[in-house]
Amino acid sequence: MKNRGATILAIIGAALLILPLVMHDTFVLRVLTEGIMWIGLAIAFDVIAGYTGYLNFGHGAFFGIGAYTIGILMMQANLPFWAALPLGGVAAGITALIAGIPTLRLKGAYFAIATWALSRAIQQLALNVEFTGGPDGMRLEAFLNPQFFYYLMLITVGVIFATLWYLLERAPFGLKLKAIREDEEGAKALGLNPTKLKMQSFILSALPTGILGGIYAYWITFIDPSSTLGDLVSDQAVVMVVFGGMGTLFGPALGAILIFAFKTLFWAYLSDFQLLYLIILGALIAISVIFIPNGLWGTMVKRKAGATRPEQKAEPASEPAALSAVAAPEEGN
């Protein structure tokens, strides 16, 4: 199963690498570039939301911070793109560090509301200071090379996926985050440090989001508070992850592909009905929570596991699986 999954990923990756060489339609390439970006945003959001259990409605703030960092450094400090790009991720990570000190003390809806308020505060700040361009936004120097941005986005998201796959699915760090999600007090009793781990998760979610925001700013060449710091970035990330399946990496990727495809078709034929799009997003969250609480990917995996083990009966566990999987308490974790 693992070898087959690796083979499928390799085939998809090879196809995506070859695609621009055989397909020269700029519009299609632009759509694919944005779709790949949303896959990266969704899996980055899932680090704090799915693996750690903290729903972050301020995810779009990190995207906007990365975008504005690139814009300011390139246009006002005259830094080249490659020097400014990692600083966009660093700026988002530092923001997560500072914001996480008070917000990660909260749980559930209180954390979600606090991060939403943080996002709105940063948006208002960008609207009222001169170095961001205020409500008029900021225009970057144009670099008209669709293939460059396609490959840059593809490689960046590929590196993000591979890094998170190792940290969350292969390294002990992922098990520790799941232990916090399932039972934070139980994780603490095992000797884990939930405060430190939640902060690491928050930063790990923000840093790649800031880098993707920086690439987006250079690609689009124009940014303003409503497009990069608005609620729509966070809202769509939430829908993609919940619909695809939280606590996995393939689930958010699947959700991002489906939701972005729907968004593209909707804006192509029903662009005059913007409110309807938001209503549909809300309805998708409600439907997912009620009928497929594990998301599309989680539901498919669960059904496949049930089909392959029809005679195996579930045994009651005395403690959450992630807690029992954490082998031994490590000092300082």
Residue 265, domain member (yes or no): no
Residue 306, domain member (yes or no): no
* 45, 141, 206, 228, 292 from 79: Cα distances, Å: 29, 12, 22, 21, 47
Residue 315, domain member (yes or no): no
Report how far Cα 69 is from the mean position of its chain's Cα atoms.
Answer: 19
Residue 109, domain member (yes or no): yes
pLDDT of res. 285: 83
pLDDT (tens digit, 9 = 90+) per residue, 21-70? 887 788 889 999 999 999 999 999 999 999 999 999 999 999 999 999 99
**Total domains, the chain:** 1
pLDDT of res. 329: 46
- Which of 285 and 88 is assigned the larger pLDDT? 88
Residue 305, domain member (yes or no): no
pLDDT above 90 covers a percentage of the chain that reads 57
pLDDT (tens digit, 9 = 90+) per residue, 3-24? 565 677 778 888 888 888 887 7
Euclidean distance between CA atoms 265 and 249, whole angstroms? 25
Residue 21, domain member (yes or no): yes
Euclidean distance between CA atoms 212 and 94, whole angstroms? 16
For the chain, give the mean pLDDT: 87
Q: Is the pLDDT of residue 318 over 60?
A: no
Nearest to 10 by CA among 214, 137, 150, 162: 162
Q: Hey, what's the torsion of the CAs at 116, 117, 120, 122, to 10 degrees?
A: -110
Other C-beta atoms lying within 10 Å of the C-beta of residue 155: 12
Q: Binning pLDDT at 50, 70 and 90, where does residue 290 land?
A: confident
pLDDT of res. 5: 58
Q: Find the domain containing 147 and state its range.
A: 2-235
pLDDT of res. 232: 85
Considering the entire predicted model, what is its pTM? 0.89
* 79, 126, 140, 263, 286 from 67: Cα distances, Å: 14, 12, 10, 22, 31
Residue 67, domain member (yes or no): yes
Q: Is the pLDDT of residue 323 over 70?
A: no
Q: Is the pLDDT of residue 316 over 50?
A: no
pLDDT of res. 314: 44
- Which of 200 and 235 is assigned the larger pLDDT? 200
pLDDT of res. 302: 79
pLDDT (tens digit, 9 = 90+) per residue, 68-118? 999 999 999 999 999 999 999 999 999 999 999 999 999 889 999 999 999
pLDDT (tens digit, 9 = 90+) per residue, 125-167? 999 998 898 988 899 988 888 999 999 999 999 999 999 999 9
Residues pairing with 138 in the sheet: 223
Tokens of 221: 């060449």
Residue 267, domain member (yes or no): no
